[in-house]
Structure 1
């Protein structure tokens, strides 16, 4: 197993078309080996990289379905890897962080990570988070040639004032200008925009973006909301449609 591996960690041939592919980026070879074995036992194919520089080119050239990044790595750490990857890709990413790296967790989520798990971590928890994110991403990967969704269906287009969302194609515009969102950001925004003016608690928003059996804390939702605002303000500096109701949650205003 090498730092530039782009194959299954236990074989010499690429994963079959029916398998979901998970990229693992960590300088700890024991973690790479252990996680590869656990993921493959669940039916996933894995690609492993022992540093960020080796991973970046491979992730851009041949994207997996999801990636798991360590933060502290040689040559290019996980934060820099995510920053560079987000220039061209909305690939779902989970961070592995040490418990004393709370600031890194917040920075990573602000940069567009979908989730994070603290080290030492439970393999069961990581597998649950991976399954959750892939389930959330699946409806957004619908074939663009498929029949248009019916009004009122879960994947129907959503128009709220200057906001337009197309869940079937994972597209968002504000005043006609495209806004690129990760899967988590899209689902949180959709939950807010479905009922303008209605306050959604953090728990309600977590339920919209995560299944009931996966725990995330309030900081995760807050970090994603901050990044959503930042992205919309990049196309409209006056954007204020996502409102904070302190002690209660968030709401969307289409006025």
Structure 2
């Protein structure tokens, strides 16, 4: 298992590295978010431990960058007593946090717990050959259920088929008529507005901001495609 530790205080950084390596983990370290991003572009990790307060690029902004293309577990180290910082970190996609000063045994226990949960989650995905995933979106073709960040969302039949078709063909641009034919399986009653309405409804259910969608992109004058920067289709 590979762990990335991002901490600007050398003593703390080195102590965490030594403790993790004593447990058998492979550890890389970075002194700030900028250095961490360079390392993340070159290597894959199973978990990251991030300090919140760092020069150049802090933990919150580093986490935002990580979540653009990765779902690895992230544990925050924070010296702040304000619970709002902890809430903000969790809402942004952190999996856990440890308040400074902390016990190294506590940190090791939280690292093990997050790696175990992530392993169990990935194992359950592998066992399900009909799970289609793209970024934070997932569809279980067996149960015809759709999820955003592991939370099930309610879709009608056409919305489900539309999302499924886009997720089966990420990055591919479709005209409105092509989408209509694929989902409605009938071009006789084709109506341009039908697709626009269903895309709008779908965005309202899967996008954080439907007016500035992260996933379903409008290709002006042509149609739509499923695309999110830094994400690759997974099956």
Q: Which runs of 5+ in 2 are unaligned?
A: 131-139, 165-203, 211-235
Matched with 2:60 is 79
Matched with 2:219 is none
Taking the TM superposition and a 5 Å limit, the aligned residue runs for 1:182-193 are: none
Matched with 1:118 is 99
Asked if 1:47 corresponds to 2:59, the answer is no
Aligned with 1:139 (options 117, 120, 123): 120
Q: Which runs of 5+ in 1 are unaligned?
A: 1-19, 150-156, 179-230, 238-255
Alpha-carbon RMSD across the aligned residues, in angstroms, is 3.2
In structure 2, do the counterparts of structure 1 residues 44 and 164 end up closer, same or farther at CA, with 3 Å as the change threshold?
Answer: same
Are 2:153 and 2:205, in contact at CA under 8 Å, matched by a contact in 1?
A: no
In structure 2, do the counterparts of structure 1 residues 131 and 232 end up closer, same or farther at CA, with 3 Å as the change threshold?
Answer: farther
Asked if 1:22 corresponds to 2:19, the answer is no
Separation in 1, partners of 2:153, 2:72: 19
Aligned with 1:234 (options 201, 204, 207): 207
TM, length-normalised to structure 2: 0.56
Matched with 1:98 is 79
Separation in 1, partners of 2:57, 2:209: 32
Are 1:52 and 1:78, in contact at CA under 8 Å, matched by a contact in 2?
A: yes
Matched with 2:181 is none
TM, length-normalised to structure 1: 0.52
Question: 1:92-116 CA deviation, whole Å, 9 max, x = no partner?
Answer: 1000011423222111111000001
Give the structure with the higher percent helix. 2
